[in-house]
């Protein structure tokens, strides 16, 4: 069992609370024995318990913990020869390993976008294993031959059978209703819908629309009826994005080829965009390609999408679409780099931080719990060396995140000295 939470006080650092770009210089942040923030602000305004232990944050910027709304804890980019050796146990071990690595990198909350069972979120929540606060979607729902169908032209299906990940391939309104109910029964907080083709799937293209509006609407209805968090749509192609929006989807993932009509729908319905730039760079990484971790067809599709997504994202931002951080990160990837990409591709350094903190918390239904540094919020926070508003590129460097706290417990302390 984890050790009891001990009150703490962080002193000497700049406080960037996720709500305002105006940092509190030489601020003080106090946590209590329940793992929540007791005070945050100028040193003169903070009351420090006598038994609190002191953490010197001089030269650091203290921010809310990063919230990544699109990860795949149990997945990894790997050659086919390795994929066919995966067992259910391998996937569980991988998910636990990813959770620990993401947490130590400063990602204190995640939404898993597919192929991770609900038992993983329970393992993290229990404290038996270190990992982020986790919401899961279990198995993504896909039409036959869609982005979630692991069939290959040879007839081999690259899918590991996991008892608590129900099947997700379904066709027709009645069948997708049942598939959605199976995920809900298995403990899904979200239902993931493959509304278009994708990059890593062998049998389709990102432009292809998948599932009809009626099919997606049935999935949305089931999620609402069950009272779970919501629905998310893998949606890269223009028509599929709009189909998902018209059906009432909660968030659009990727959104590579969104057009003005799609943006109009997002603005009208206040649906956020989760762009996931991190995976795009991974899919074009020369080392990964040389090792066979990324198949040739995926490289070609990613190159087709790469500049289009950046241009469309900038346009969506200019028009006022809400942006939430998601990375599509697999085991072995580094999620915080996404903040640098969001800033560089049009969001700017402060709004990128908001996308990874309070906007992400809002999407996940956790706005009263995490995402800002305010009294009463859970003490999920990180400290980085330097000023991320002046130097947004620091998010690409793992050495710059030197301190991580989750629920008042110190997860990682790399301050030196």
Best CA proximity match to 117, nearest among 160, 149, 76: 160
pLDDT at 417: 61
Provide the CATH topology of domain 8-64+371-413. Answer: Urease, subunit C; domain 1 (2.30.40)
Sheet holding 251-254: strands in order across? 190-194, 230-235, 251-254, 273-274
Q: List the domain boundaries for the chain.
A: 8-64+371-413, 66-363
Tell me the C-alpha distance between 241 and 263, whole Å. Answer: 10
| Closest-CA residue to 146 (of 193, 199, 191, 203) | 203
pLDDT of residue 155: 76
68 is catalytic: no
Of the candidates 68, 204, 328, 380, the residue annotated as catalytic is: 328
Whether CATH 3.40.50.720 fits 66-363: no
Give bridge partners of residue 349 from the DSSP assignment.
Answer: none
Q: What is the pLDDT of residue 203?
A: 83
Q: What is the pLDDT of residue 44?
A: 62
Tens of each residue's pLDDT in the chain, 417 residues = 677 899 999 999 999 999 999 999 989 999 999 999 999 998 766 777 778 899 999 999 999 999 999 999 999 888 888 888 889 999 999 999 999 999 999 999 999 999 999 999 999 999 999 999 999 999 999 999 999 988 877 877 778 888 899 999 999 999 999 999 999 999 999 999 999 999 998 889 999 999 999 999 999 999 999 999 999 999 999 999 999 999 999 999 999 999 999 999 999 999 999 999 999 999 999 999 999 999 888 999 999 999 999 999 999 999 999 999 999 999 889 999 999 999 999 999 999 999 999 999 999 999 999 999 999 999 999 999 999 999 999 999 999 999 999 999 999 999 986
Q: Which residues pair with 37 in a beta bridge?
A: 31
Measure the CA–CA gap between 370 and 110, rounded to whole angstroms: 12
CB neighbour list of residue 217: distance below 8 Å, 6 or more residues apart: 247, 248
Q: Is 184 helix (H, G, I), strand (E, B) or coil?
A: helix
328 belongs to the catalytic site: yes
The residues near 314 (Cβ < 8 Å, ≥ 6 apart) are 345, 346
Measured CA to CA in angstroms, residue 352 lies from 69, 300, 301, 365 at distances of 13, 29, 26, 19
Instruction: Output the six-digit token pair for 30.
Output: 């106090």
Nearest CA among 43, 61, 100 for reference residue 415: 61
Choosing from 192, 242, 256, 301, the catalytic residue is: 192
- Residue ranges of alpha helices (H) inside 55-172 are 80-83, 88-104, 118-126
Confidence at residue 361, expressed as pLDDT on a 0 to 100 scale: 98
């Amino acid at each position: 069992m984890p050790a009891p939470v001990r009150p703490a006080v962080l002193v000497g650092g700049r406080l960037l609370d996720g709500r305002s770009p105006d940092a509190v210089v030489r601020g003080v942040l106090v946590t209590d024995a329940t793992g929540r923030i007791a005070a945050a602000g100028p040193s003169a305004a903070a009351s420090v318990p006598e038994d609190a232990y002191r953490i010197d944050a001089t030269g650091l910027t203290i921010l809310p913990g990063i919230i990544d709304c699109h990860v795949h804890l149990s997945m990894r980019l790997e050659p086919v020869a390795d994929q066919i050796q995966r067992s259910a146990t391998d996937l569980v071990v991988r998910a636990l390993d990813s959770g620990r690595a993401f947490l130590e990198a400063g990602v204190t909350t995640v939404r898993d976008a597919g192929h991770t069972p609900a038992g993983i979120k329970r393992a993290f929540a229990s404290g038996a294993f270190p990992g982020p606060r986790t919401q899961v979607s279990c198995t993504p729902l896909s039409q036959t031959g869609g982005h979630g169908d692991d069939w290959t032209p040879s007839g081999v299906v690259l899918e590991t059978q996991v008892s608590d990940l129900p099947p997700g391939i379904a066709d027709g309104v009645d069948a997708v209703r049942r598939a959605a109910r199976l995920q809900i029964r298995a403990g899904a907080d979200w239902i993931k819908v493959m509304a278009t083709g994708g990059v890593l799937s062998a049998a389709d293209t990102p432009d292809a629309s998948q599932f009809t509006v009626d099919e997606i609407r049935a999935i949305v209805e089931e999620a609402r009826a069950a009272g779970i968090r919501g629905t998310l749509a893998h949606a890269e192609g223009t028509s599929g994005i709009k189909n998902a929006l018209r059906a009432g989807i909660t968030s659009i993932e990727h959104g590579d080829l969104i057009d003005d009509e799609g943006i109009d729908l997002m603005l009208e319905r206040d649906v956020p965009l989760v762009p996931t730039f991190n995976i795009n760079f991974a899919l074009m990484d020369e080392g990964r390609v040389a090792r066979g971790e990324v198949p040739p067809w995926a490289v070609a599709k990613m190159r087709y999408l790469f500049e289009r997504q950046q241009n469309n994202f900038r346009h969506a931002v200019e028009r006022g679409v809400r942006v939430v951080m998601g990375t599509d990160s697999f085991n072995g990837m580094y999620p915080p780099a996404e903040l640098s990409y969001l800033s560089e591709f049009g969001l700017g350094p402060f709004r990128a931080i908001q996308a990874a903190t309070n906007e992400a918390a809002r999407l996940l239904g956790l706005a009263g719990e995490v995402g800002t540094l305010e009294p009463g919020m859970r003490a999920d926070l990180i400290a980085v060396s330097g000023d991320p508003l002046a130097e947004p590129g620091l998010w690409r460097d793992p050495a710059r995140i030197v301190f991580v706290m989750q629920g008042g417990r110190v997860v990682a302390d790399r301050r030196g000295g």
